Amino acid sequence: MLVFAGAEEAIFCLSSVLLGPGDHAVVTWPGYQSLYEVGRAAGAEVTLHELREADGWSLDVERLIAAIRPETRLVVVNAPHNPTGMLPTPAEWARLGDACADRGIHLLADEVYRYLELDDAEPLTAGADLFERGISMGVMSKSFALAGLRIGWLATRDRDLLDRCARMKDYTTICSSTPSEILAIIGLRARDRVLARSRRIVADNLDVLDDLFRRRADRFAWVRPRGGSIGFPRLLGDEPIDAFAGRLVEAEGVLLLPGSQFGHPGNHFRIGFGRENLPAAVERLEAFLDRG
Ligand SMILES: Cc1ncc(COP(=O)(O)O)c(C=O)c1O
């Protein structure tokens, strides 16, 4: 394991050491920007594996495997997924792990939302446990709700890869903040309590969102997330989501993030439900809708 200043530094170091000109990566999309942009900045070609609402945002493992090329060095899958809540089945996950193992490709499992699987879904086999070149990435900022610590990690059996990441880290942060590491250890030791709290918040909020989108089915299309604390609903009707979100934030101080902000076509928006004040935000959204 190697500890980083958040998952962000882990993504930066890993993508920088694994990818360069002539290399290729396949990355789930829409998604967290640096998962595909750091590789591009390093000179690699990146194929975005698009998740589609029509498929219930599910991972199309065979389509993803078909995108792998001889020069592919890395496959990146974020699950539970930001922003759709996608979570592969254990069989899909094993199939992808086998395909990467057969080809000698690294698989980065972005597991920052691990332990927020919904509806009693089990966490997937961790990336590091899948095969030799599987990599798990975790962080204290999501399921563990300790964003300010800026502590994340990579775990893999590929020691050479970790050595190369450590050499890269010599040019970024060198080492983590010790007070943050100590607070992270306290958080990890209280893991059961911390995770139970996060899971309760997410489950309660998801009930609120399910209810909202059921009652407002004329205004929104909603695919229920399978994990994580983010969903990706679509605004129905003629109004572009940017205009709707602009009116809403001006009137009610409630911010929705339109998919257009990260280049996603369609009228989707990203909605986070990891905070305890979500019901208050939903109330304001409904008041806004009622005013027309
Ligand atoms: C999927 C995903 N991966 C990685 C990160 C980076 O986490 P951090 O900002 O805690 O380093 C985020 C943050 O939003 C994320 O959503």
Quick one: which H or E segment has residue 106? strand 106-110
Q: Can you read off the two tokens belonging to residue 250?
A: 């001006």
Distance 152 CA to ligand 1 centre (A): 9
Quick check: 292 pLDDT over 90? no
pLDDT digits (tens, 9 = 90+) for 249-283: 999 999 999 999 999 998 999 999 999 999 999 99
pLDDT (0 to 100) of residue 64: 98
Quick check: 71 pLDDT over 90? yes
> Residue 94 in contact with residue 233, Cβ under 8 Å?
no
Amino acid, res. 201 = I
CA-proximal residue: ligand 1, atom 2 (nearest): 32
CA-proximal residue: ligand 1, atom 4 (nearest): 7
Please give the average per-residue pLDDT across 37-46, as a whole number. 98
CA-proximal residue: ligand 1, atom 14 (nearest): 32
Pocket of ligand 1 (CB under 6 A): 6-8, 32, 78, 82, 110, 112, 139, 141, 152
Partners of residue 49 on adjacent β-strands? 28
pLDDT (0 to 100) of residue 181: 97
Quick check: 78 pLDDT over 90? yes
Please give the average per-residue pLDDT across 208-233, as a whole number. 98
Please give the average per-residue pLDDT across 215-234, as a whole number. 98
Q: What is the DSSP letter of 277?
A: T
Pocket test for ligand 1, best of 51, 141, 229 (most atoms within 8 A of CB): 141
pLDDT digits (tens, 9 = 90+) for 57-66: 999 999 999 9
Strands 269-272 and 230-231: antiparallel
Please give the average per-residue pLDDT across 153-178, as a whole number. 97
- Give the Å distances, CA to CA, from 192 to 13, 85, 199: 30, 22, 10
pLDDT digits (tens, 9 = 90+) for 128-165: 999 999 999 999 999 999 999 999 999 999 999 999 99
Residue 50 confidence class, pLDDT cut points 50, 70, 90? very high
CA 64 from centre of chain: 17
Pocket test for ligand 1, best of 28, 81, 112, 115 (most atoms within 8 A of CB): 112
Average pLDDT in the chain? 97
pLDDT digits (tens, 9 = 90+) for 112-136: 999 999 987 889 999 999 999 999 9
Strands 269-272 and 234-235: unpaired
What is the C-alpha to C-alpha distance for residues 211 and 228, in angstroms, rounded to an integer? 18
CA-proximal residue: ligand 1, atom 15 (nearest): 32
Distance 142 CA to ligand 1 centre (A): 8
Ligand 1 atom nearest residue 141's Cα: 10
Per DSSP, the residues of 186-227 read HHHHTHHHHHHHHHHHHHHHHHHHHHHHHHTTTTEE----SB
pLDDT (0 to 100) of residue 119: 85
